[in-house]
Chain A
Amino acid sequence: MSNPKTDKVPAQQLMSCGEVACEVLVNPIPRPELDPIRITLKPKVPRVTFLDHKKPNSLAILQFAQQILRQRGIEVREEILQKDDASIPMPAALLASLSQEPGLVLCGISD
């Protein structure tokens, strides 16, 4: 559950105002200079692609999800893509490839 006290986005600018003048405080928080991730919220085709990130039980859960989705008539890509290490960011080539995927991409879950 999110905590509105700690999870709110920090202020962009703070001013210190005395009786005569105001001073801008130096902002300590770096911000994304571009959108951090560009995503398409609505898939262009009704198809699901899974990405396993090699955490415990991730593959088993994804295979089970594939089965359930197919039972419900949803097209699911047969191959489950692989990210070799959950502790490192997605390689740029894989991210670029997935950004072209017209269907829905679901990433690995675990435990």
Chain B
Amino acid sequence: MCSIDGTLLDFKYLDRLADGDTAIHRLDPRAKVLVTLAFVVSVVSCGKYDLTALFPFFLFPVFMITLGNIPGLYLAKKIAIVIPFAVMVGMFNPLLDRQVMLQVGSLGITGGWISFASIVVRAVLTVGAALALVAVTGFPGICAALERLGMPQPFAVQLLFLYRYIFVLTEEGGQMARARELRTFGARGRGIGVYGSMIGHLLLRTWMRAERIHMAMLGRGFSGVFHTRRQFCFGVRETVFCLGWGLFFITARLVPVAHLLGTLVGF
């Protein structure tokens, strides 16, 4: 029950983070989207046993989070919620891959454990980067950026519509669920019969709402495109941002930074 409201609040909170006004927020969304995609691809392209090669990549999410003034703890909690699938699948690696790859004293660490750790680290990195991107750019910004980068226009309109009505409809759904909860006793009334007609009603109401929206939009001269006054400029800052991070990702992929540091200290 309160979980629906909780989810919605959480969602709104993440959405509102994008209203910030920091140097990162002010960057052109296209630069942020491109760099984040490059980041995800470089992280994912690391070999499955290259655990330490992944560590330098933490710099990017940390940079976005700190400069974008995003609460790190909140993001960490969100990351922790979604990791289980990767962990569940990765858990089989230690069982199936038992070749010892590293001896620390008498403790032999198998390849399975290393690749398991690398899966978890990858999950943290990729999920963290995606969430940081939303938090510093905002959904409309990402849509606009993707549209400028070649996403088909009907799909962009669809994404913006969806985004606008998610809040309205989830609130309505939450109200319906609460009303049902208050009228049920134990499991009675929570079965599929009530559920079917309840969601069916929500669906029909949604459908009629869409027709009203359409008429209202026609009345205001909608022609299939959202017109926004958003200004795009891919200037020096964006170029530096893209080139800088691009170079960093390539370096981090090619040079074993962690290993060099370790040798430097004398291990």
Are the chains A and B members of one assembly?
Answer: no
Chain A interfacial positions (CB closer than 8 Å to B): none
Chain B interfacial positions (CB closer than 8 Å to A): none
